[in-house]
Amino acid sequence: MLLVNTIRDNFEITLAGLQKRNFHNAEDVLIQVLDLDNKRKETQSQRDSLQAESNNYSKEIGILMREGKKEEAEKIKTFTSEIKEKVKSLEDIFSQTEEELKQILYTIPNIPHFSVPKGKSAEDNEIVLSNGEIPALPNNKQPHWELIKKYDIIDFELGTKIAGAGFPVYKGKGARLQRALINFFLDEALKAGYLEIQPPILVNEDSGYGTGQLPDKEGQMYEATVDRLFLIPTAEVPITNIYRDVILNESDFPIKNVGYTPCFRREAGSWGAHVRGLNRLHQFDKVEIVHLSHPDHSYEALEEMSLYVQGLLQKLELPYRVLRLCGGDMGFTSSLTYDMEVFSAAQERWLEVSSVSNFESFQANRLKLRFKTEDKKTQLAHTLNGSALALPRIVASILENNQTETGIKMPKVLVPYLGFDTIG
């Protein structure tokens, strides 16, 4: 959530950032924010002034009562009761205005970093680098949704029977591949200095608002309506919320957490060949890295996280590229996002497998996540997170890119976790 003072002090910069995001009616919304903030401040000033006046009269009443001037005291009491009614009315207006201001701020996305390119869609994203060679597959190459049937390792029909479309059942070597990837990703994160967290996979409304999924992505989240709890779309939500309403010390940075969870997304409105098979699911497994940083070092942390995720892809021997997302394709809470895409040789297309983002103080302001500087001043922290990695499209790429006439070869780094080197 943007700070009102940031909008007021940097109005043109904020407006330009929102326009880069193609945010509708950006100028009108920002003016509305400032108008509500002015109203809130004026109401608060009037309330405080009347409250001070009421307090002075109360002291005068006490003095008059002690002097035995009861009749004069009663007259002032009548007057102070009128002031108290005005104070109560102003308090109601203040609360209403503050709530209205908060709800509007919840709808405003983060301001993009200056390096974010202009654009409206994925076609406008900037390719930062590419790595690895695209494998040459046999003429009878098959996409992963055919390979999983051939080797009986993932069953979509059975998942549909149990839960519905988008909830696959992993079997045999397919299940072992899932477990191997999760353990590999966690072990690599621990080597890189991340603290492992096993969080709840249900979160409350405050947690959803804290990291920005609510109200922006409410329609994409599964909700347990009786208790108003939400199934998490990513481990970012519960792990980052560990630090909600927390004041850290400057010496605590950097804080690096990693967690594996299943993730749940309704993916409403998704259809077509590009979401076939493992390309898009309602339930999937993911290892997430979360980084809390001093504001002066958060972009160094972002580059470090990007290189870390790239290292995982290199160890898995997968060709990949890194994109800097344009303003129109960025997530609601992000200031700068790198997407990592792996090339699927059978589908002959790039598949996004990770997003690594710096949110600057946007989430921290919602979370009230602060730290004390050495001179004891309080400041908002910066939060970052990244997929390291999401499993479905990694699995799809491993299956497709490594298929041979005799089976599917597994990446060497996974063999110790799997106990086999080929599916076939």
Of 56, 74, 106, the position where a domain reaches its end is 106
Q: Is 385 annotated as a binding residue?
A: yes
Does residue 349 sit within a domain?
A: yes
Query: Same domain for 163 and 267?
Result: yes
* pLDDT tens digits, one per residue of 162-218: 999 999 999 999 999 999 999 999 999 999 999 999 999 999 999 999 999 999 888
For residue 111, is it within any domain? Answer: no
Helices first, then strands: H and E counts in the chain:
13, 18
The token pair at 311 is 């290292």
How deeply is 224 buried, as exposed, middle or buried, from its count of CB atoms within 10 A (0-12, 13-18, 19+)?
A: exposed
What is the rounded CA–CA span in Å between residue 241 and residue 367? 7
E runs forming strands in 274-331? 283-293, 320-324
User: Are residues 102 and 139 both part of a single domain?
Assistant: no
Domain boundary, last residue among 51, 73, 106: 106
Is 58 annotated as belonging to a binding site? no
Choose the final residue of a domain: 45, 74, 106.
106
Q: Is residue 392 part of a domain?
A: yes
The DSSP secondary structure of 108-171, one letter per residue, reads SPPPPPTTPPP-SSGGGPEEEEEESPPP---TT---HHHHHHHTT-EEHHHHHHHT-TT--EE-
Which token pair is 340? 């990592």
Query: Would you give the distance in Å from CA 327 to the centre of its chain?
Result: 16
Name the nearest CA neighbour of 77 among 57, 95, 106.
57
- Does 352 show up as a binding residue in the annotation? yes
| Structural domain count of the chain | 2
Domain that holds residue 50: 4-106
78 and 185 part of one domain: no
Residue 276, annotated as binding a ligand: no
pLDDT tens, per residue, the chain with 424 residues: 999 999 999 999 999 999 999 999 999 999 999 999 999 999 999 999 998 888 887 888 787 878 888 778 777 777 788 888 899 999 999 999 999 999 999 999 999 999 999 999 999 999 999 999 999 998 899 999 999 999 999 999 999 999 999 999 999 999 999 999 999 999 999 999 999 999 999 999 999 999 999 998 888 999 999 999 999 999 999 999 999 999 999 999 999 999 999 999 998 655 555 678 999 999 999 999 999 999 999 999 999 999 999 999 999 999 999 999 999 999 999 999 999 999 999 999 999 999 999 999 999 999 999 999 999 999 999 999 999 999 999 999 999 999 998 999 999 999 999 999 999 9
Whether 249 and 165 map to the same domain: the answer is yes
Looking up residue 265, the CATH number of its domain turns out to be: 3.30.930.10
Annotated ligand binding at 353? The verdict is: yes
Is 0.75 surpassed by the pTM of this model? yes
Q: Are 324 and 115 in contact (CB under 8 A)?
A: yes
Q: Are residues 261 and 364 in the same domain?
A: yes
Whether residue 181 sits in one domain with residue 43: no
Known binding residue 354? Answer is yes
Cα separation of 294 and 384, whole Å?
11
- Assess whether 167 and 49 both reside in one domain: no
Contact between 25 and 47 (Cβ < 8 Å): no
Q: Are residues 291 and 349 in the same domain?
A: yes
The answer to whether position 139 is within a domain reads: yes
Q: What pLDDT score does 271 carry?
A: 52
Q: Is 335 annotated as a binding residue?
A: no
Structural domain contains residue 353: yes
Q: Would you list the DSSP string of 213-241? A: -TTTTGGGS-EETTTTEEE-SSTHHHHHH
97-119 residue pLDDT tens: 999 999 999 999 999 999 999 99
114 in a structural domain: no
| Co-location of 40 and 87 in the same domain | yes
Which pair of tokens denotes residue 83? 């002031």
Is residue 265 part of an annotated ligand binding site?
yes
Distance CA 235, CA 285 (A): 10
Q: Is 116 contained in some domain?
A: no
Say whether both 132 and 196 belong to one domain.
Answer: yes
CATH number of the structural domain spanning residue 82: 1.10.287.40
Do both 259 and 177 map to the same domain?
Answer: yes
Report yes or no on 360 lying in a domain.
yes
Q: Are 101 and 145 contained in the same domain?
A: no
